[in-house]
A and B are shown apart, each in its own frame.
Chain A
Amino acid sequence: MSQKEDFSELQKLLRLKRLETPGQEYFNRFVDAFHTYQRREILQEEPWYAKVVEVLFEPWVAGVPRLATVAASAACLVAGVAFFLGPIQSGTAQLADGKVSHPRGIVVAAAQTNASLELQPELIETAAGGEEIQDRPLYVNGHNALAYDSRLTF
């Protein structure tokens, strides 16, 4: 097969590249240089999150924004803002049966007047182990509710 023969001149030329070495002096010193490098690496051990930061931001540091990185960062930002601000909904609404619809649940009874804010007596345990009656308000969360459906969490 003459295919190899065709490339023989090229292969001779490529062998020129064997001359491109830094010289024996470099290799004589390499092991010592490597020990120095290793000591420095041990002292400068990167925290685990450095790799994450590098993957996320390296394209920006280099000045080339990568679409996937930009999109992922934007999505994280939106999710973060949404999480901290909570659901954006209108306030409460009066239902036909007298209950109040609230974004976080159905309020069973709503404060209509100041009169309904009166305190209800409640039997509680005392520190001494006995029992006594105390007056406790029934509203629970500042939404003007006097009572609420306990199956719904606020």
Chain B
Amino acid sequence: MPAEVALPSDLENGPTDEELVASTVKGDLGAYDELIRRFQGRLYGVIYHLTSNHEDTNDLLMEVFDKAYRSLPTFRGQSSFYTWIYRIAINRSFNFLDKRKRRQGAMSLNELDEDGLPKLDLPDVSPQNDPNKSLMLNELQNKLNESMLKLSKEHRTVVTLFDIQGLAHAEIAKIMGCTEGTVRSRLHYAHKQLQKSLGIYLKK
């Protein structure tokens, strides 16, 4: 069971995403600011868990909102705005990851870790008052991100959307343009891979 059910994209009280889209297309820039506020956190999460780098995530998030804003007049509403902008974010991240992969051969050793993966840019999430716990948590966080980066981008995406963001299989299938069966099978494979590399940190 995913820990959290995905939040509906519309706020309880207030215009729906589609109403905000319509207002934006008519020239109400404040409506687009509202859409940004609604999605910035979730899209940041998706991009960050794919790239593992905050600076890159910030740049990509700007690009995603810019691209979506320019493309809004062509948005036909065949899918929800929520699915549409997630798709843009994932496509942009995939393009970025492909470019980064090509560049890795040209990266200096300072930019790579001992496994040849790009060095991670992790925020400090450890408790400040317990240095031992903090050390362990940091190590765990590093290991977790390394294991995630070893997955293919498609597998990393399903893990991010399902386990971290709590989306349902059906929603992930719509975003990724595949069947629910494919989502489930990718998720199962990714879980097995992660379980293998993170086994020592998991309770038996």
Give the chain B neighbours of A4 by CB distance below 8 A.
1
A80 within 8 A of B: no
Query: Can you name the residue of chain B whose Cβ is closest to the Cβ of A36?
Result: B62
Cross-chain contact of A7 among B44, B65, B66, B191 (Cβ < 8 A)? B191
Q: Could you say which of B34-42, B75-83, B109-117 contacts chain A?
A: B34-42
Bound-complex Cα distance A27 to B45 (A)? 12
Query: Across the interface, do B62 and A34 meet the contact criterion of CB distance under 8 Å?
Result: yes
Secondary structure class of chain A's binding surface, majority of residues: helix
Cross-chain contact of B164 among A15, A33, A34, A58 (Cβ < 8 A)? A15
Give the chain B neighbours of A37 by CB distance below 8 A.
62, 66
A98 within 8 A of B: no
Query: Across the interface, do A14 and B159 meet the contact criterion of CB distance under 8 Å?
Result: yes
Query: Across the interface, do A62 and B103 meet the contact criterion of CB distance under 8 Å?
Result: yes
Give the chain A neighbours of B188 by CB distance below 8 A.
3
Give the chain A neighbours of B1 by CB distance below 8 A.
4
B198 within 8 A of A: yes
Query: Across the interface, do B164 and A18 meet the contact criterion of CB distance under 8 Å?
Result: yes
Bound-complex Cα distance A22 to B145 (A)? 16
Nearest CB in chain B: distance from A15 CB, A: 5
Give the chain A neighbours of B105 by CB distance below 8 A.
62-64
Bound-complex Cα distance A6 to B99 (A)? 36
A151 within 8 A of B: no
Number of A-B residue pairs with CB-CB distance less than 8 Å in the complex they form: 92
Cross-chain contact of A17 among B41, B49, B198 (Cβ < 8 A)? B49
Bound-complex Cα distance A21 to B46 (A)? 11
B123 within 8 A of A: yes
Give the chain A neighbours of B194 by CB distance below 8 A.
10, 14
Bound-complex Cα distance A34 to B67 (A)? 12
Chain B, 136-193, CB within 8 A of any chain A CB? 140-141, 144-145, 148, 159, 163-164, 188, 191
A73 within 8 A of B: no
B104-130: CB near A (< 8 Å → 1, else 0) gives: 011000000000000000110100000
Bound-complex Cα distance A9 to B163 (A)? 12
Bound-complex Cα distance A96 to B165 (A)? 87
A25 within 8 A of B: no
Contact status of A33 and B62, CB under 8 A, knowing A9-B203, A10-B198, A11-B3: yes
B33 within 8 A of A: yes
A38 within 8 A of B: yes
Nearest CB in chain B: distance from A124 CB, A: 63
Query: Across the interface, do B202 and A21 meet the contact criterion of CB distance under 8 Å?
Result: no
Query: Across the interface, do B202 and A20 meet the contact criterion of CB distance under 8 Å?
Result: no
Bound-complex Cα distance A13 to B195 (A)? 10
Query: Across the interface, do A22 and B40 meet the contact criterion of CB distance under 8 Å?
Result: no
Query: Across the interface, do A30 and B40 meet the contact criterion of CB distance under 8 Å?
Result: yes
Contact status of A20 and B103, CB under 8 A, knowing A4-B1, A10-B191, A15-B163: no
Bound-complex Cα distance A108 to B33 (A)? 79
Query: Across the interface, do B62 and A14 meet the contact criterion of CB distance under 8 Å?
Result: no
Query: Across the interface, do A27 and B144 meet the contact criterion of CB distance under 8 Å?
Result: no
Nearest CB in chain A: distance from B197 CB, A: 10
CB<8 Å pairs between A and B, sample of 10: A7-B195, A9-B202, A14-B144, A14-B164, A15-B163, A16-B144, A19-B123, A20-B122, A20-B123, A34-B36
Closest 10 CB pairs of A and B: A63-B106, A19-B125, A14-B163, A9-B202, A37-B62, A7-B191, A62-B103, A62-B106, A64-B105, A31-B33
